[in-house]
């Protein structure tokens, strides 16, 4: 017998777009755009949102007064933009009271289960669009006839009316959840910069460019649960930050264990959790916020060199300011990475910061703590290629237009602090397919 099943779904959204652009003499640039979005996720009267955007540019190097600077700065452009975008990615029909069926009600002396209806979610008739307000300011310049190039952009994005549920505690027996509300406020700001250099020194030609970007976000307001201490609140921290016990070492012996507050059942060789609030015990109030895993700084360096018939290209990339929570499934169900057992605590090796061997039942395994937060700062030689092109007089003799031999590689070297994990992989259990080193040798033949 074959079972046949199916389902249906309807979703409605209406959008209007418009754009007006103007430029004069390639010097004054202006653009205005807008969109009107309508979504079924919001009630009548709050269903549509108007989201405009405006940008302007000024090419100073086209102005007459710039003539005295052209030998040094042959191109200069200022630019700015401001715009809004809306978000409606929330559960449907939160402006209506939702109900569901249940077979578990008992009435009077009749002990049979009776069908019943119960509330799933209370209504929020005021729910509407979440709004992102984005500001960009930038400059582009070329110096000494393009030998040096510079691009710099500052950005700030303020997200307002972020759709989140309130954090107030609701007894489980009530049987319903709170709807999303336009409560949250978040700011993300930073910059992107590109610096390039092109030059020729005799037979050597070079083209080098470097990029760097920085982005930091901050939660300006989040609805916090009552009685949460200030150091545990989400407001004021970065998006994705989590609560962790602060690991400050390993208990070396029984004496250290007895002289410091510890988790119930702790023994020598276990990770020490800091008694952050100094109340003489380790509990949930000792957890503090640690920043999320994504790095704030990202950078890259692209190098292209050519000397006579030889050429070389290389790409370096890297990031700093990030971390990754990695705890492998070691112990009863998996093997230990070598770094987890080398120099580990034993009665004969007590002076170490590497805990004893463990299984998944230890408190410092089941409770999130900073011991498993790994620094993911890294620099990687992503690609490297070296080539040689046959000289023109040789090519002519063999009746070809071009012949180039090359040797290339990918993911050749990585300088990082993790060592046993790839700093680019976002996997908390350490299970991933590693990036492969690839070597190629070949030729480009042109007839």
| Cα of 194 vs its chain's centroid, Å | 21
Higher pLDDT, 366 or 400: 366
Q: Is there a contact between 191 and 214 (Cβ–Cβ < 8 Å)?
A: yes
pLDDT in tens, 96-137: 887 877 766 666 666 666 677 777 788 899 999 999 999 999
pLDDT in tens, 257-270: 999 999 999 999 99
Instruction: Reduce the DSSP state of residue 334 to 3 states and report it.
Output: coil
Q: What angle do CA 378, 379, 382 make, to 5 degrees?
A: 125
Confidence band for 60, pLDDT divided at 50, 70 and 90: very high
In 166-231, which ranges are E strands? 180-201, 204-221
Confidence band for 4, pLDDT divided at 50, 70 and 90: confident
Instruction: Reduce the DSSP state of residue 257 to 3 states and report it.
Output: helix
Q: Taking the alpha carbons of 262, 263, 267, 269 in that order, is the dihedral positive or negative?
A: negative
Instruction: Report the percent of the chain where pLDDT is more than 70.
Output: 95
User: Tokens 């609030």 — which residue?
Assistant: 277
Confidence band for 421, pLDDT divided at 50, 70 and 90: confident
Q: Is there a contact between 101 and 21 (Cβ–Cβ < 8 Å)?
A: no
Q: Nearest CA to 234 among 216, 220, 217?
A: 220
Check pLDDT > 80 for residue 29: yes
The pLDDT assigned to 336 comes to 84
Higher pLDDT, 319 or 113: 319
Average pLDDT, the chain: 90
Structure tokens given for 107: 């009435």
Specify the range with the lowest mean pLDDT, choosing from 67-76, 80-89, 165-174, 193-202: 165-174
The pLDDT assigned to 193 comes to 97
Confidence band for 171, pLDDT divided at 50, 70 and 90: low
Confidence band for 167, pLDDT divided at 50, 70 and 90: confident
Higher pLDDT, 173 or 279: 279
Domain ranges of the chain: 240-290+329-374
Q: Nearest CA to 158 among 193, 186, 182, 192?
A: 186
Q: Nearest CA to 163 among 46, 51, 243, 276?
A: 46
pTM, full prediction: 0.85
């Amino acid at each position: 017998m074959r079972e046949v099943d199916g389902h249906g779904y309807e979703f409605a959204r209406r959008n209007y777009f418009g754009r007006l652009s103007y430029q004069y003499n390639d010097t004054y640039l202006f653009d205005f755009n807008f969109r009107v979005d309508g979504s079924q996720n919001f009630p009548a009267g709050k269903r549509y949102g108007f989201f405009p955007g405006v940008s302007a540019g000024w090419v100073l190097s086209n102005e007459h007064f710039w003539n005295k600077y052209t030998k040094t700065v042959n191109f200069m452009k200022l630019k700015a933009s401001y715009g809004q975008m809306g978000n409606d990615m929330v559960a449907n029909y939160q402006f209506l009271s939702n109900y569901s069926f249940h077979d578990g009600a008992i009435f009077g002396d009749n002990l049979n289960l009776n069908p019943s209806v119960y509330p799933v979610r209370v209504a929020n008739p005021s729910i509407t669009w979440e709004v992102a307000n984005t500001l960009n300011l930038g400059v582009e310049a070329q110096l000494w006839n393009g030998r040096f190039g510079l691009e710099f952009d500052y950005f700030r994005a303020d997200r307002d009316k972020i759709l989140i549920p309130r954090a107030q505690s609701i007894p489980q027996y009530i049987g319903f959840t709170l709807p999303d509300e336009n409560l949250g406020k978040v700011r993300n700001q930073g910059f992107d910069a590109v610096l390039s250099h092109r030059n020729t020194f005799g037979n050597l030609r070079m083209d080098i460019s470097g990029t760097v970007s920085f982005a930091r976000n901050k939660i300006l307001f989040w609805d916090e649960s009552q009685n949460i201490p200030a150091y545990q609140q989400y407001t004021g921290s970065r998006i994705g930050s989590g609560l962790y016990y602060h690991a400050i070492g390993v208990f070396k012996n029984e004496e250290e264990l007895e002289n410091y507050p510890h988790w119930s059942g702790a023994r020598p060789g276990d990770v020490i959790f800091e008694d952050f609030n100094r109340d003489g015990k380790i509990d949930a109030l000792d957890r503090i916020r640690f920043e999320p895993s994504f790095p704030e700084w990202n950078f890259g360096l692209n190098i292209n060199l050519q000397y006579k018939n030889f050429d070389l290209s290389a790409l370096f990339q890297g990031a700093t300011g990030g971390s990754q929570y990695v705890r492998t499934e070691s112990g009863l169900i998996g093997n230990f990475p070598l770094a987890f057992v080398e120099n580990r605590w034993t009665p004969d090796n007590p002076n170490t910061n590497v805990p004893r061997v463990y299984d998944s039942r230890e408190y410092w395994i089941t409770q999130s703590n900073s011991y498993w937060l790994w620094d993911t700062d890294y620099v990687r030689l992503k690609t490297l290629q070296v080539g040689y092109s046959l000289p023109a007089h040789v090519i002519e003799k063999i009746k070809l237009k071009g012949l180039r031999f090359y040797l290339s590689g990918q993911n050749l070297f990585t300088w990082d602090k993790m060592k046993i994990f790839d700093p680019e992989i976002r996997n908390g259990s350490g299970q991933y397919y590693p990036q492969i080193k690839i070597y190629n040798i070949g030729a480009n033949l042109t007839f």
